[in-house]
Amino acid sequence: MTELSKTQAAVGEPTATSPAPTAFLEVRDLKVHFPTDDGLVKSVDGLSFQLERGKTLGIVGESGSGKSVTSLGIMGLHTAGQYGKRKAQISGEIWLDGTELLSADPDHVRKLRGREMAMIFQDPLSALHPYYTIGQQIVEAYRIHHDVDKKTARRRAVEMLDRVGIPQPDKRVDNYPHEFSGGMRQRAMIAMSLVNNPELLIADEPTTALDVTVQAQILDLIRDLQKEFGSAVIVITHDLGVVAELADDILVMYGGRCVERGPAEKVFYEPRHPYTWGLLGSMPRLDRDQQERLIPVKGSPPSLINVPSGCAFNPRCPYADVPKDDVTRTVRPELAEVGSRHWAACHMTKEQRERIWTEEIAPKL
């Protein structure tokens, strides 16, 4: 099936099984598996979503849920330069603006990187080369995709630094990353990723390594820039506060799969998956009484080699016994529509979940 759709994509003849997508970015049944000595690590195991230009998708989940692996997969960075490592096994389809990336020529995907799709990384200090000035690194990013001389590219770099709010950009452009503060570095990183006006921007934990005081500024900046450039943005985070700030849609990942997906306000105010309830319960809030404890999600993230059978969340789910016949431990739940543009993968009936949410969970939050 996967092989078939790949060949079809390669000759550009989408058929009924794989119609050309209408969305700007469409990921279909993406699987990223890593062979290791201990077994096959199924980091992403069947993920699908769409994203339109000008919209922001927040991908939320705990460490090891497959968020970053997904983003690197879209960028094609699992296959570029993996010297001597065992190759990641990637299947599914990733359509970016009408092009299927997984079956495309790797050099074509390379040319899209940085120009059509760009990425902001978690720790800007380690993500910037310590031996080159900020300016040199931005100029390099620009000149890969634009045939201009260094002077023009430098002017562009200064312009971008100015745009992301770095004071005295014409001077700071000659500084090295270690001469910038953490927040400034992340601004420079954003300037670098936006220098080619990419249509897709992936921000992988963009504020996790920053001071709390700076986090809000960076989030504001990303939101403003998105409005200005009209790009599609994917924000990857474990911090629900970040997606609340930015995202139009939210995708909750657990054990390499999507467990709930929908518009942000739906996922926040009418979540229909017990794992999402757990995430919301463990989020600190100022309006909560200080005497009340946070409600952590019990247990630890699932092994990605031996994923629990049935619903991957069942060992940690307080409601695993609500559905009959032990179905949560034997059958893997598929995403099912629970509202308009709102899906969740849970064996409990819609009514059961509505009742638990309104009666047991929501009052405690």
Partner 1 sequence: MTAGPGRPPGPAVRGGPLAVLAYLMRRLFAAAVMLVVIIMVVFSIFFLIPKWAGVDVALSFVGKQADPAAVEAVRVKLGLGDPVYVQVWEFFKGIFAGRTYAAGGDVTHCSAPCFGYSFRSEQAIWPVLTDRFPVTLGLALGAAVLWLIFGLAAGVLSALKRGSLWDRGAMIVALAGVSLPIYFTGLLSLAIFSYGLGWLDAQYVPLEDSFTGWIGGMILPWVTLAFLYAAMYARITRATMLEILGEDYIRTARAKGLREPVVIRKHAMRSTMTPILTMLGMDLGALIGGAILTETTFSLPGLGQAVLHAIKNQDLPIILGVTLITSLAVLIANLVVDVLYAVIDPRVRLS
Binding site for partner 1 (CB under 8 A): 75, 77, 80-81, 83-85, 110-115, 118-119, 121, 123, 126-131, 133, 140-141, 144-145, 168, 171-172, 174-176, 178-179, 192-193
CB of 79 to partner 1, least distance (A): 10
How far apart are the C-alpha atoms of 34 and 175, rounded to whole Å? 39
How far apart are the C-alpha atoms of 13 and 255, rounded to whole Å? 33
HSE-up of residue 276 (Cα within 13 Å, Cβ side): 29
CB of 44 to partner 1, least distance (A): 18
> Tokens 């049935």 correspond to what residue?
310
- Give me the helices (H) in 76-123, please: 106-112
The nearer residue to partner 1, 176 or 229, going by C-beta atoms, is 176
- DSSP one-letter string for 252-286: EEETTEEEEEEEHHHHHHS--SHHHHHHHHTS--T
Exposure string for 298-321, b = 16+ CB within 10 A, e = fewer: eeeebebeeebebbbbbebbebbe
CB of 179 to partner 1, least distance (A): 6
The nearer residue to partner 1, 198 or 274, going by C-beta atoms, is 198
CB of 81 to partner 1, least distance (A): 5
CB of 253 to partner 1, least distance (A): 21
The nearer residue to partner 1, 26 or 116, going by C-beta atoms, is 116
How far apart are the C-alpha atoms of 253 and 270, rounded to whole Å? 17
DSSP class of residue 13 equals -
Residues 6+ away with beta carbon under 8 Å from 72: 78
CB of 84 to partner 1, least distance (A): 3
The nearer residue to partner 1, 65 or 137, going by C-beta atoms, is 137
The nearer residue to partner 1, 188 or 317, going by C-beta atoms, is 188
The nearer residue to partner 1, 110 or 341, going by C-beta atoms, is 110
How far apart are the C-alpha atoms of 99 and 199, rounded to whole Å? 13
CB of 122 to partner 1, least distance (A): 8
The nearer residue to partner 1, 96 or 297, going by C-beta atoms, is 96
CB of 119 to partner 1, least distance (A): 5
How far apart are the C-alpha atoms of 200 and 206, rounded to whole Å? 15
SS3 30: strand
Q: What are phi and psi of 236, to 5 degrees?
A: -105, 130
The nearer residue to partner 1, 119 or 222, going by C-beta atoms, is 119
Exposure string for 177-195, b = 16+ CB within 10 A, e = fewer: beebeebbbbbbbbbbbbb
